[in-house]
Every structure is written in C-alpha cells, then in structure tokens.
Chain A
Amino acid sequence: MQTENAQEDLWIPTTCGLCYSVCALKVHRVNGTVIKIEGNPESATNRGRLCPRGVSGIMLLYDPNRVNVPLKRTNPNKGLDVDPGWKEITWEEAIDTVAERLRKIRREDPRKLLMTGTVTTQDEVPFSRFFTMAFGTPNGWNSGAGNHCGTAEHLYGALLHASWAKQPDSDHCRYLLNFGSGVGSGSYYTVTGMAQRIAEARLRGMKHVAVDPFLSPSAEKADEWIPIRPGTDAAFALAMLNVLLHELNVYDAEYLKHHTNGPYLIGADGSYLRDETEKVPLIWDPVDAAAKPFHSPEIKDFALDGVYAVDGQRARPAFAVLKEHLAPFTAEWAEPITTIPAATIRRVAKEFAEEARIGSTVVIDGKALPYRPVAVMYFKGAQGHKNALLNCMALELLTEIVGASNVPGGLLGMNSCSVGEPETGQPAWIPKADRDGLMITGYWPSFPPPYPPKEVRATETIDLRGLIPTCPGSSGALPVVMADPKRFAVPYQIEMNLHLGSNYLMTFADPEAVARAFQNVFQVSFALFLDESTYLSDIVLPAASYLERLSHTADWMSSNAAVGEWCYHVRQPVVDPIAQRRSVCEVLLELVERLEMREEFYAFINLLLKLKEPHMLDPTRCYSWSEIVDRRYKSVFGEARGLEWFKKHGVLKWPKQAEEVYWKPSSSARVPIYFEWFKTLGEKVKAQADEIGIELDTSAFQPLPEWRPCRAHEENSPGYDFYAIYYKLPMQTFSGTYDNPWLDEVCQTNPFAYGVAINASAARQRGIEEGDWIEITSVATGHTVRGQAALTEGIHPEVIAIAGCGGHWSKYLPIANQDGKGLCFEWLIPVGLDNVDIPSLTQDTCVKVKVVKATDRGSKRSSRSSRLNDLNHLNDLNPG
C-alpha cells in the first residue's frame, strides 16, 4: 500500500492469534490505521508467510460487529434463540457485578466456578487458568472437545513422544502415511511452517499416502488416496501390524529391546513380572537363560520372543504378547471393516516396511543416528471415535514397531527435549525414566503430565477427569456431568462460567443439549463477538483482540516446528484497544485485587510463569500487566531481554541441536508398546465408578490395541445410509472466524467450504444434483441440517463431509448467519457418555445420517448452507 504523506509509518512485530499455530507478524500501521499484516521473515515459526486467516486479521480488528462496550442481559429467559436483550453498562458496573458473584462462590465452594476457553488464545486462556487455580476451582473446558481436540492423541503424545503433538520429520521423511490429519495442508499444528516444509518434502520425493474418507485438502496433495470407511483406521493399522509381524517379519529389534518395554516379561495376569527386591520389571536374557531386572548392567541380550518359566510363573516378553494378539487381525479381516482391499493393505504395509530401512543410519551433526524415514500421522479424524484410546494405540504402534519414533526421518514430538541454552536462558527439559524405566515427559503444557498415572479422584471435577485421569485434553463428559452432577456424586453444581472466547455451543455436539447444561449458569463472557454461546451470557465484556493486547507469552510447546530452530516471540498491541475493549489479563488482575486474592494468585504466577529472583512478584505490592510480562521475559531470557527488547525485536531464535530434535537414540527412557498400567488404572476407575453408582464400561482400559465398532457402525435404521464426517479447511478456524468478510469471500470460491461433499454417483442415485439443497438428518439426535450438495468423485460413497463450523444463527453475526454459509455439524452428534470413549473421554464424531433432496429451500434453525460453485460468481456479486 502506498504511504505517501504519512506522518506515521511503522512495522510492528507481534504474533497472530487466529489459531494455535501462533505465527509471527509484522503489522504495517500508517497514521494509526493497520493497513497490512505480513508474516515476519525473522521467525522460524512461519518464515515470513501467513495463511488466509492471518492475512485477514485486519477485518477482525475493524469489524463493526465486534463487542465494544460491556453489556448486561435484561431478558431473564435463556435459550438458544432467546434474545438476551442486551443493555449497555459501564465497566464499573460490570466488574462490580462479576466480583460480587465471584466472592459469593469463593465463599461457598470455589469449584462452582467453571472456565471455558479456546485453544486459539494460547496466552489468555492459560493465564486465566492461573486465576481459576488461585481461586480454587479445578474446572475448565477448552473448546474442541467435540470436533477439534486431539484428546487421546495427546495422551499418546505424552506417553510415546514426550510432547503435546507430533510431526513427520519433514527434512528426512520418505513415506508419510497420513490417516486424515491436515499436516502441511493448512490445518494441524504450525500451519504455515509445515505448509512450506511438507511442500519441500513433496518435491524431494517423499511419498504421501492419505487414508481418508474424503479427498480432503491434505489428501489432495497425496501421491495416493485410499478412501476408508470412517472410524475404521485402527482396523487398517492392525492389519498392517499383522502383515509386518506375521507375514513380513519386519520390526526394529534393536529399538524394541533398548527403547521400549517390548522385552519386559508379562505374566499370565497381564501384568509385569517384577523382581523380588527392587520390584522393577524383569526381562529375559537369552544368553544367560535368566530373568533379570530391566536395568541390570549384567544383561547380555533381551529376549523379544519365547515363553519362559520364572519362579514357577509362565512369562512372555511384551513384544511376543503383542505379536500373538495381532494374529487374528489379517488384511482379509480388515477388508470388510475398512472397505479397503486386502491387497492394498498388504502393499502399503510392504512399502512402509521397506521404506523404514531398519538397520540403516544417517550422520547428522557428526553423529550416526538410526534412519527410519517413515511417519504415521493422524489427528481428529482417526481419533475422534468411540474407541479413541485403542484406535490411537494401533496407529502409534506402527511407528514404534519399526523404530521410527523421534529419530531422523520418522515421527517427531514437537519440542520434547531441550538441552538448555545458557545464552538465551532456556532451561533444559529432557524426557526421563521412572522406576519402571518408562518415559515421563520433560515438559508438559498442563500439570501434571498423564504419566505416571494420576490418582483416581472420582468426584473432584465436573468433567470426569478426576475419575478418569487419562483424558489429557478436553473432556467429552463435561456437559453430561454438568447437567446432572448428583448422578456422578459430584457434590456441587456449576454456578458461574468465565467464558473466554470459546463458542462451545458450536464446537462440541448437539447445541440444544449443551445449552441445557449451561443455561442455569451465570455466564460472564469476554467476547469478541456476540456469538451463539453469548446468548446464554449474563454479562458480556468487550475483549481486546490479539492485535490490541499484550501477552505474557505468545508461544507454547506446539507452536514451534519439531525441526529447525527454537523461536520465541512477543504479542503486543499494534493499536490501542478500540472503543471500550480491554485485555482479559488486565481485567483478571483487577478482579484479583477486588477479590483480595493477590497472595494466592501471585504465588501461582511465580510458580507457573517460572519467575526468578529478583523478578518474582511480591504480594505486598500490586503489579501492572506490563510489569508482570516484563518480569516473565527477564526471568526466562535474562535481564537484557525484557519486554522492551521483545517489543523492539519481536523474535528470539537459535538453532536446535540434533539431540534435541532426534532425542530418542540417546534417551534411556523406554516407551510402552504394551500399555500395562492401563489395565490397573481401569480397575481403579471401575471400582470408584461402582462405588458412586455410575455404570461405566471400562473394558477399553487394556494394554493392547483393538478395533471396536462405533455406534454408527452398528446402526441399521433404514434410510440412514451415510456417515457424516467433519474436516477442517485453511480458510476458517473453528467457529470463530466466520464473520470475517474476506474469509467469507474466499470460502465462496471453494466448492466445499460451505457445501456438503457427497459422492457424485451416490448422490445421483438419490436424484441429487450439483447445488441441490439437501436435508441431512442424524439418526442419533434427530436434528436435520440443510446444505447444498457439492458432488465429487473424491469421497467414499458411504460418506458426506462437512467443513468447519459454519451454519451460525446468532443475529449479531450478520455475515456468518446468512443462509449458505456452511453447516453446523454439531447438530448431528449426540451428547452422552455412550457416545464417549471412556478411557480418554473423547467424543465420538462418527454418525449415521439420512440424506434426502430438499423439496423446498426453506430454512431450519440448524440449516444454513449453500455454496456458489460457479467460478464467475464473484462477478455476479458485483452488480453491473
């Protein structure tokens, strides 16, 4: 943009806040107006590039539909479509009201406070957690428990990769087997950086095999697309494991012996055999023909196969137990489940086995490291099912069996290991072994990490995460328990919700059921927009967007690529908050004072922000937000790199060392291929559930993988012959960006963004043609949503695919709420524990639907969709 006659012409470094990737920005401000947002080329995170959302942040900043003043509800009735009757109030009145409520709750039982947040604000939500911890409540719910959160995937991230998320080694991987994740195609972690890295890998010749019901943005870029029936990925993976171990006899014995619990001896009861004195797991040394503690220096070799008698007990190495367990899961067994021909499964397994190059090494930074250039990726698609725990286990074992975990070419945890960097102040975090030799993460974004197993404390939380501590992310049980806490022996009810940016009505499941759980709660929303979930609010506070606020940190564990450089950023306001908008963190600091909880709060800040002397907060005085941020930076990065340094420079980076990226070969921590402790934990969960009288199927707490059908797979109601699935596009983040007119404009140019992808032949058999309005009715909820058919050959004939979280109905979102702006998938998914994977509390997103051609275009509340597939429509929008 031309900037002649400008009195002010600035480029301000900051970070994007429109998804959890946290790309670095340079924002161009001329005479006080933001005129361009660019990627900051100094940053390793996005290397100067931005996705369509990042570029369009200007329209979020200046959207006149943003909340600009505090509001209070005047209509005492609450409901999905009930207008709250907003009345403008002063900030003073708003804070008085909120503080009074909080004081009352804290006096009675602080656990009655819930905080709902979104993962797109990696600054405000974690900081607000410090507030709720100091307040005294364990209850929080991040958006995404329905369609977005990796839940069980994050659990295995902790258990196998010491990381929240993982990525293929884009520098060396040669075979990417991708079960529906969006890596490299504009969703998943580090969107912008991985788009570049995976594009380079494509040119380098990495083969990408996409196993996906839909030819999704990611599958479009694959070398081979294998359409699969939804929710059956584990069957495919089990059959591959069967081919690897029973037909090809391919596995990385050295890796399994030294880096997994594969050699640990398993007794007849499924538990480890332990030695008498130290009580640590035993292995079998075939050279000395003796059982020895797994860490004994006397071990000459580890047995992976065979049956042994140890102190009169029959015992087998875990690997042998796994191998035997896999015997029935042949390619022929998987074919009718997955609809993938057995020959295809065998071929892929063979390609995977060959490309894993077991035994080969590569020299990196002067060190010879195992070279296993294959990676298995998956995220919500394969994981979001009734049997998430066992599905993910099957998928993860592919990587483990061939030794491709955290070695060059393979699957890498994101920032699992830091050896420490004295010059920048970054501390060391290194995965370490517990007494059983199994890995504990070096770092975990929430506390504590899932392993070692946490105590089972049934009635502690409102989301069953106390009872079931293996859920590391968003719990699918929260609305169920919240609606009826007595049934779960939870001794309190949620009375108040601090609602930070999550439109939970549109990102979990059946909005009516979720609304029922929330409608008796006093809800205070820090909101950018009056979205659907604020219809249930009592007070709405105008929140500053990421372009208008200062943050204590922008980065988190999964915003940095696995390879390349360490990189840290600043998030600072590029303009003063517009109108009466305020930073959430600043408002919370004010509430801390009003509630007289400074001492507890500062103690949490000192601990969790890792403040060091002389920068620790002294509770005898009150600090401003920018003072706290400055102290955070100085504590981590040293005296010279405080807030002022970051505001000026924007980015601090330095290269990662090979042993940080490829940390597994030098780590003594083993990972499980036999999840022994799941069984014991499941027994504890069962016992407590029985005690409080909840019927809970805990049978999936088992040490070895399995495929079990989802409810949808056993659904035979006549006419309900399609599976509905959800996927992500790079043009929208969850439900929060749909009012952005620029993103709306490009969505209208994409045939699938607002429409319903349906197999062309299957559609025509039902008399459905391109662009026809169709009605989609869920067998599970009975709700119907409407949209326009987008016919494609690129989708499994049994499947329809809906992108993103469109179909808004809030009257305060005038762009998003129009007919033809996508569909709200959540109407199709039921709320209830029988739709949840018990061990990981993952919500099943697999559902059977009836699809019929609509007889008229009439609209139903849950039914907004259309698409403009005419390439020239943009000229049509342009009258004249």
Chain B
Amino acid sequence: MVIDLKKCIGCTGCALVCKAENATPPGILWLRVVKHETGKYPQVRRVSVPLQCMHCAEPPCMEVCPTGATFQHPNGIVDIDAELCVGCRYCMMACPYDQRFFLSAERTYFPGHTTPFEQAGYQRHQAGVVSKCNFCTPRLQRGLEPACVANCMSRARTFGDLDDSNSEVSKLIRDRAGYQLHPELGTNPSIYYLPP
C-alpha cells in the first residue's frame, strides 16, 4: 500500500471506515492518524501520518508467535488466526510499529447497551486475543480494495502489488520517492509513504 502524505488531510476517515468495516470494539483502532510537527514558529510543518499494520515482509511478530496464530498469506499480508491465538501478547512487544491490539474483555460503546451493529459485528472479535489490520482480506477476496483505500476522501491511498514493477504502487514509489517508516529495523514494511 502507498499512502500519499501530500494528499492526506489527516481527517481520520480511514480510522473510522476501518472500524465500520471490521466492527472493532471500543479502544481498538487498527488504524490511527498521528500528527508530526517540526520546525520553530513561524517556520513550522505539521504532517498527518496514518499508521496501521505495516505488513512487514519480515514480520517480527510472526517470529515470536508461539502458536503460529500469526501467519503470512501467500500475497504477503500478515494475519492472525484468532482460533490459535492464546493472548500471550509477545507479538505486541515485538511489533516495532505498535500496531497490534489486545482485547481484554468484551465491551460495547454504550455501557450496558449493545447496538444492533455491535450485535452483528462483535461476533468476529473474541476477548483474550490479539487483533490488527489485515488489509481487509475478506474484502480483497471479494475483489474489493481495503476499506481505508476505497473511502479515503483525499484519495491518498493506493493498493496494489509491490512485486509487480508495473503496478500503480510501484510506479508511485519510484516517481515520488516513496519510503518506508523505519527501514533500519529491517522488517521491510509493505506500506510506503509519499513525501508531504
């Protein structure tokens, strides 16, 4: 995935469309937008940076998983099999991007009340396991883009095959000097950012 920081306006629509698509429970945002400020008044720059699972080609979370719950799809997407997860949270310690989330107990957004949406959606989330962004794998299987890509209101996100040098994402990375966050960690993330 490529995220164009020049286009991104930091609106957090991606964070919430992710929540709507995946019905993540309270306190869990698989996707967040952080603000990064540099410079001194009046020469200041503030950039919005969306963060989510980087789907590293060399995922440290997978290495430390004792049960094999964390696995990589053949397309490179890092995913979690909730049935195998025992909630040990080693993966959370291992993830250098802090993009894994542990659901300690089932909660709802309105205390004491479960909305029909939550009734329908929370079946997919078990307490006691770790979850995270899976690039909307169920949507990909239906031929759709990840929800954050499909909804982005400044069209800052592009999804595609990094291994195909002719893909839109590969071209964008080449043409616009796309970069990974913290490449020095050696995990080879699959999310590239285009400079603001």
Contact = CB atoms under 8 A, between A and B. Distances in A.
A483 to B, nearest CB: 38
A202 B154 CA distance: 11
Given A742-B16, A750-B12, A793 B153 contact: no
A792 B12 contact: no
A64 B12 contact: no
A51 B44 contact: no
B12 A749 contact: yes
B44 A749 contact: no
Contacts of A34: 116-117
A206 B105 CA distance: 49
A759 interface: yes
B36 to A, nearest CB: 10
Given A1-B23, A59-B115, A793-B39, A51 B109 contact: no
Nearest to B111: A814
A52 B17 CA distance: 7
B27 A51 contact: no
Interface in B144-193: 150-156
| Most chain B CB neighbours (cut-off 10 Å) among A58, A731, A761 | A58
Nearest to A32: B116
Contacts of B17: 50, 55
A1 B29 contact: no
Contacts of B23: 1, 35
Given A64-B110, A199-B7, A745-B29, A879 B104 contact: yes
A745 B154 contact: no
B154 to A, nearest CB: 4
Contacts of A730: 9, 11-13
Interface in A143-201: 184-186, 191-192, 195-196, 198-200
A761 B109 CA distance: 39
Given A1-B120, A62-B116, A741 B12 contact: no
A794 B11 contact: no
B138 interface: yes
Contacts of B13: 49-52, 54-55, 730
Interface stretch (B66-74, B75-83, B95-103): B95-103
Given A36-B20, A55-B20, A759-B41, A749 B15 contact: yes
Nearest to A752: B35
A745 B28 CA distance: 9
B60 interface: no
B115 A792 contact: no
B151 A874 contact: no
Interface in B8-43: 9-13, 15-17, 19-23, 26-29, 32-35, 37, 39-42
Given A58-B20, A872-B98, A874-B28, A195 B11 contact: yes
Nearest to A878: B27
B109 A202 contact: no
Nearest to A46: B153
A548 to B, nearest CB: 13
Contacts of A872: 98
Contacts of B15: 52, 746, 749
A49 B154 CA distance: 9
Contact of B153 (A2, A192, A759): A192
Contacts of A195: 9, 11, 153-154
Contacts of B26: 741, 745, 877
Q: Is the interface of B mostly helix, strand, loop or mixed?
A: mixed
Contacts of B150: 38, 48
Contacts of A741: 26, 109-110
B10 A217 contact: yes
A63 B152 contact: no
A1 B12 contact: no
A33 B102 contact: no
| Most chain A CB neighbours (cut-off 10 Å) among B11, B151, B155 | B11
A186 B110 contact: no
A880 B102 contact: yes
Contacts, number: 193
A742 B19 contact: yes
Interface in B84-115: 98, 101-105, 109-110, 113, 115
Interface stretch (A219-227, A309-317, A428-436): A219-227
A878 B107 CA distance: 10
A878 B109 contact: no
A836 B12 CA distance: 36
Contacts of B12: 52, 730-731, 746, 749-750
B10 A871 contact: no
A676 to B, nearest CB: 40
B128 to A, nearest CB: 9
Contact of A877 (B6, B27, B110): B27
Interface in A711-742: 730-731, 741-742
Contacts of B47: 220
B48 interface: yes
B119 A749 contact: no
A50 B148 CA distance: 11
A225 B42 CA distance: 8
A36 B105 contact: no
A384 interface: no
Contacts of B153: 46, 49-51, 186, 191-192, 195-196
Contacts of B6: 199, 202-203
Given A51-B13, A58-B20, A62-B115, A751 B35 contact: yes
Contacts of B101: 874-875, 878
A37 interface: yes
Contact of A52 (B7, B11, B48, B120): B11
Contact of B11 (A51, A745, A878): A51
A878 B102 contact: yes
B41 A227 contact: yes
Given A793-B40, A871-B32, A877-B27, A199 B115 contact: no
B16 A52 contact: yes
A39 interface: yes
B16 to A, nearest CB: 4
| Most chain A CB neighbours (cut-off 10 Å) among B9, B10, B39, B153 | B153
Contacts of B156: 199
A328 B59 CA distance: 66
A528 to B, nearest CB: 15
Nearest to A227: B42
Contacts of B121: 1, 35
A875 B27 CA distance: 7
A880 B119 CA distance: 23
Interface string B109-136: 1100101110111001000000000000
A65 interface: yes
Given A793-B41, A874-B29, A731 B7 contact: no
Interface in A391-440: none
A48 B145 CA distance: 13
Contact of B120 (A30, A185, A751): A30
Contacts of A59: 109, 115, 117
Contacts of A731: 11-12
A703 interface: no
A32 B117 CA distance: 10
24 contacts: A1-B21, A33-B116, A49-B153, A50-B13, A52-B15, A54-B13, A59-B115, A63-B115, A186-B9, A196-B153, A199-B156, A202-B6, A203-B6, A203-B7, A220-B48, A227-B42, A741-B109, A743-B16, A751-B35, A759-B41, A871-B32, A874-B28, A878-B102, A879-B105
Interface of A: 1-2, 30-39, 46, 48-52, 54-56, 58-59, 62-65, 184-186, 191-192, 195-196, 198-200, 202-203, 215, 217, 220-221, 225-227, 730-731, 741-743, 745-746, 749-752, 759-761, 792-795, 797, 871-872, 874-875, 877-880
9 nearest A-B pairs in the assembled complex, by CB-CB distance: A880-B104, A62-B115, A878-B27, A199-B154, A199-B7, A746-B12, A730-B11, A741-B109, A877-B27
Given A745-B29, A793-B41, 8 more contacts: A35-B121, A39-B151, A49-B151, A50-B13, A215-B46, A742-B20, A746-B12, A793-B37
